[in-house]
Structure 1
Amino acid sequence: MNTATSSATGPATAFAPVNHYLTVLQKYADFKGRARRSEYWYFVLVNTIVSMALSFTVSLISPTVAAVVNGLYTLAILVPAVAVCVRRMHDVEKPWWYALIPVYNFILAISEGTKGANGYGADPKASSVSSTLEPVA
């Protein structure tokens, strides 16, 4: 029995949030395709935790240095964050600019993606589910 099967988003382990975060960083400037809800929200969760931990840790040295380091981290993570947001909008079959609409973008981000292929690519949920299902020998 294989417990560490791999999927489109990385190995299926207890560290799924970190795997999704790293997947988003690997797709640094990929604005094409689709992102599942889990990929988007785990990225948001880990990004928030990293940002808060970084701010807290560096603020023990100096609040001014913490502000600079947090600003640099925010700049470094800006492009991947926008890219995953755009891919999330694509998953619900909306163009990128729907991410600019304040409340509606949140509703779209929590909505289930379009089942099957849409104009932005194949269903990421279907491809990851099919790759994790392996016949038992």
Structure 2
Amino acid sequence: MMEWMLLPLKRYADFSGRSRRKEYWMFALLNVLVILAGILIGLLLSGGSADYASMSGGWMIAAALLGIWFLAIFIPSLAVTVRRLHDRDLSGWWYLGMVVASAIPFVGFIASIAFIVVTLLPGTDGPNRFGPDPKNPAQADVFA
């Protein structure tokens, strides 16, 4: 399971090819776990006080650590999302369209739900224009 979480980091800036649902969603789970750990660190270092307004030292440290994490995963997050779209036989430019659409009130809500649905759908069977099927790469040459 951990190898699926770290695979997007190994393929740091690889925007070509395809990524399975498992790779995409395990990376999302890793990010959620890191955010929860950052909140826990902030709570522990601030003495259990969730006083965000004063931004005590504990919360500052947690915010700095999470900021470093988000900077480190920015490119891999873009890459795994583009590869996930490739698995559905969609261009990576659809991601930019979804980001732009998300900035529009009401349309953004619908676009966000549509994007989540697209990432939840299974990839195309067999090879597509972006590469072999990551679920069954051996299948590509069977009927060629």
Normalising by the smaller structure, the TM-score range is 0.7 to 0.9
Name 2:13's counterpart in structure 1: 29
Gaps of 5+ in 2: 46-57, 99-111, 140-144
State yes or no: 1:120 paired with 2:130: yes
- Percent of matched pairs sharing the same residue: 38
Matches of 2:134 and 2:84, distance apart in 1: 11
Equivalent AA in structure 2 for residue 79 of structure 1: I
How much does 1:59 deviate? Answer: 4.2
TM-score, with normalisation over the residues of structure 1?
Answer: 0.76
How much does 1:60 deviate? Answer: 2.2
Alignment counterpart, residue 72 of structure 2, candidates 70, 76, 90: 76
State yes or no: 1:44 paired with 2:38: no
1:62-73 matches, cutoff 5 A: 62-73=58-69
Contact 1:59 1:65 in 2 (8 A): no
Taking only aligned residues, the RMSD between alpha carbons, in angstroms, comes to: 1.7
Q: Secondary structure at the match of 2:135?
A: helix
Contact 1:98 1:105 in 2 (8 A): no
TM-score, with normalisation over the residues of structure 2?
Answer: 0.72
Equivalent AA in structure 2 for residue 97 of structure 1: W
Alignment counterpart, residue 41 of structure 2, candidates 50, 57, 67: 57
Give the structure with higher Rg (CA).
Answer: 2
Equivalent AA in structure 2 for residue 87 of structure 1: R
Matches of 2:25 and 2:31, distance apart in 1: 10
Aligned length: 113
Contact 1:98 1:104 in 2 (8 A): no
Deviations 1:40-79 (A, max 9, x none): 0111112211221133224422111111111111111111
Contact 2:38 2:63 in 1 (8 A): no
